Structure 1
Amino acid sequence: MSELVQFDDTLNKVVTLVTGVFPQRTLKGAKGKMLCVYDKRTKQVWIDEAKGWSAPDLH
């Protein structure tokens, strides 16, 4: 997972890039990236595939 990106408080959004292996058997262990946006005010979450995006390795 990338570091959290916390926007200005007026936006109430936090964003992170998550990488991993898709658990669905039909995807046969394919690696993937998902961009996750969280609205702190409404507690709503948006998630979408993020092909081509990258984040620094934090290990």
Structure 2
Amino acid sequence: MLENDIQVLNLIHENLFITQAELKEKMQVSIITVKRLMVDLQKRGVIERQGSSRRGK
């Protein structure tokens, strides 16, 4: 796992309802980077998206 992957997982662990926009701010990366990280973690079965795609959880 990459450093960004671990950071995302730690932030999600701290707040299960964190949004992609909040991840972007806390990680100081672009929203595109957050989306790419989330898709990659989902494809690997590490995380599962909950809720609507509009909300970004």
Query: Highest Rg: 1 or 2?
Result: 1
The answer to which structure, 1 or 2, has the higher relative contact order (CA under 8 A, 6+ apart) is 2
TM bucket, shorter chain: under 0.3
TM-score (structure 2 length as normaliser) = 0.26
More helix by share: 2
TM-score (structure 1 length as normaliser) = 0.26
